[in-house]
Amino acid sequence: MTGSTLKLLHGQYYHIYNRGINSCNLFYEAENYEYFMQLYDKYISVYAETFAWVLMPNHFHFVVRIKEEPEVLAIKHEPLTLKPPHQHFSNLFNAYTKAFNERFNRHGSLFERPFKRKLVDNEQYLKQLVLYVHHNPVHHGFCSHPLEYPWSSYLTCLSEKQTKLQREKVVGWFQDVDGFTKSHQEINISEIDKWLGLNSSETTY
């Protein structure tokens, strides 16, 4: 299932993605990328597990699982009336837009609305999506291999540093680190586009 108004449900996996309004840039300098991920940690990490991500100059992709309410309450100890999951993403985008507009002396919306989301309902789809997300910088000509691009989860998957990324689960989908790296080397992006059911407008992300 896909759609800009698809309801985000607790316990489900989603592909969350979006771009700048009129395809404008969202990030101009390293500090922009870093600040967006700081806000992502602040607004999203408590409420969702993250399995893959990439920030491109004018768009982004995240692969997440919305946590069940008891998982969130165990951390936040909030009342049972939690905000709808989509609201946390909206808060993230609004906070970044405010900071971005102040930094670059601009006004108005920054992101297309509403943000895009697709339900992911099987592990094979998740694997293909991880490959697609990590290969996005290569697909758009920013590098020749995901290792060369700093603003994605690919390097984190190969690291041993502490992280909130669900690294062990992601690598486990490919059996081990060798399987993970081999799958990324053998990727055929056009075949993955078809497998994921992406249309021509979505492949510009």
Q: How many CA atoms lie within 13 Å of 53's alpha carbon, on the beta-carbon side?
A: 25
The answer to whether residue 57 scores a pLDDT higher than 70 is: yes
CA-to-CA dists, residue 135 to 39, 65, 94, 142, 187, angstroms: 24, 21, 27, 10, 8
Query: How far, in Å, CA of 143 to CA of 136, rounded?
Result: 10
Rounded to an integer, the average pLDDT of 153-169 is: 96
The answer to whether residue 52 scores a pLDDT higher than 60 is: yes
Give the pLDDT band of residue 3 (cuts 50, 70, 90): low
CA-to-CA dists, residue 105 to 9, 13, 84, 100, 180, angstroms: 37, 36, 32, 8, 42
CB of 186 within 8 A of CB of 174? Answer: no
* Whole-structure pTM value: 0.92
Beta strand segments in the chain, E = 2-3, 13-19, 48-56, 59-66, 116-120
Cα 205-38-64 angle, rounded to 5 deg: 50
Q: How many CA atoms lie within 13 Å of 103's alpha carbon, on the beta-carbon side?
A: 14
Considering the segment(s) 2-197 as one domain, its CATH architecture is 2-Layer Sandwich (3.30)
Q: pLDDT tens digit string along 118-152? A: 999 999 999 999 999 999 999 999 999 999 999 99
174 vs 2, higher pLDDT: 174
**What is the residue extent of each domain of the chain?**
2-197
List the structure tokens of 38. 């700081």
pLDDT reported for residue 41 = 97
Query: How far, in Å, CA of 100 to CA of 84, rounded?
Result: 25
pLDDT reported for residue 198 = 67
For 162, phi then psi, to 5°, come to -60, 140
Q: Residue 185 is inside which H or E element, if any?
A: helix 177-185
pLDDT reported for residue 18 = 97
